[in-house]
Chain A
């Protein structure tokens, strides 16, 4: 296998004295997909949020390009390339377009490039028809697709998906799976959590199980 993109080492996390993660190591390889399973409350979401820089670990190191850094010192710069998607996405007030375009203003794209990529993204996800609808009024499956799209449009190197299929009907799952495959084929690294390995058939390259704070393969 090629060099890992990012290597998280020795992640520890406690909530109020209760240790959730114990010395967890995770390597993320470019263009590969990791499935993280584990019981409810085993710490899957916490682990993803630490990787995304949304939750502070008690301890963690991040290794890339052959050097090791403390989580704290580099997370702000590396989290620009990492996007975390909630199990139940939160769509912001406003239309589908405004949601999908949210992160574009923080990129270096100019106005024309932004509107081009916006158009492309809406087509890509089949959201053109609902582009001007209020995002919060849409069904769960469509909301999830909006959330995928507003992440995909930013072309992150790593996507962290927290139980993306948990609240979906069969058809939405197939659509979501299709979107994920296309993201992966574009070279994005994906970490996905879930209980059911079957849903992600043909998508995952590695499978880890989180139990009692430890990661097992």
Chain B
């Protein structure tokens, strides 16, 4: 118990004095997850829009597949990506295993179905007059898509925030395809796992506090955004 207290004291000290190793780990986490969410959002929105508006056969099946992908455990994604990227694997020549790029790709795989499923729900709830108005005023299909996406932007933002919250707090993918290399692929979650297993709690607690604060902020922002969405809907 006393050790715990000392560790927490050390953790707060690290946070407040701007411990450089700690903050570089935090920045790495953000950098990887930002890249992943930014690269995933546009294609996910196009897929979500097509699912909500296209009447191609198999539409509902594709949607069901995305919904079931929501519950794939991160270690399974990590395993799959590991097998693909390992030296002997089909993409081994790219030498991507244990790089930030591999972490970005894994996190993209994790948030893509989330963005599609939640994006679909937001787009599907759009007033059908938006699309009709856009078409009748002469817009080409892609401009109509942008118009609809803009009208439901708060719902889409909520989807993006949810996806970001998911990937920045995941540990399975980062551990397996990142490798937890200090200064290169060690992010918040893998650092916590490592430090804790070594019995070094201070840094783990400090990073845990950062992650918790982030989660609170994301949730607060999400609540605000969802309020906006209801007002404009």
Contacts and interface: CB of A to CB of B under 8 A. Distances in A.
B150 interface: yes
A73 interface: no
Interface in B112-148: 127, 129-130, 132-140, 143, 147
Interface of A: 49, 52-54, 79-80, 82-84, 86, 88-90, 92-93, 102-103, 106-107, 136, 150-151, 154
Nearest to B152: A93
A151 B137 CA distance: 7
Contacts of B129: 86, 88-90
B197 interface: no
B17 interface: no
Contacts of B133: 86, 89-90, 92
B232 interface: yes
A79 B129 CA distance: 16
Nearest to B132: A54
B150 A103 contact: no
Contacts of A53: 135-136
B137 A83 contact: yes
Contacts of A92: 130, 133, 147, 150-151
Given A90-B127, A93-B151, A93-B232, A54 B135 contact: yes
Contact of A103 (B127, B132, B137, B151): B137
Residue with the greatest number of chain B CB neighbours at <10 A, chosen from A52, A89, A90 = A90
Contact of A154 (B127, B134, B137): B137
B132 A107 contact: no
B147 A103 contact: no
Contacts of A150: 137
Contact of A106 (B127, B130, B139, B232): B139
A102 B135 CA distance: 11
B139 A103 contact: yes
B74 to A, nearest CB: 37
A106 B151 contact: no
Given A84-B132, A86-B129, A86-B132, A93 B137 contact: no
Contact of B136 (A83, A88, A93, A107): A83
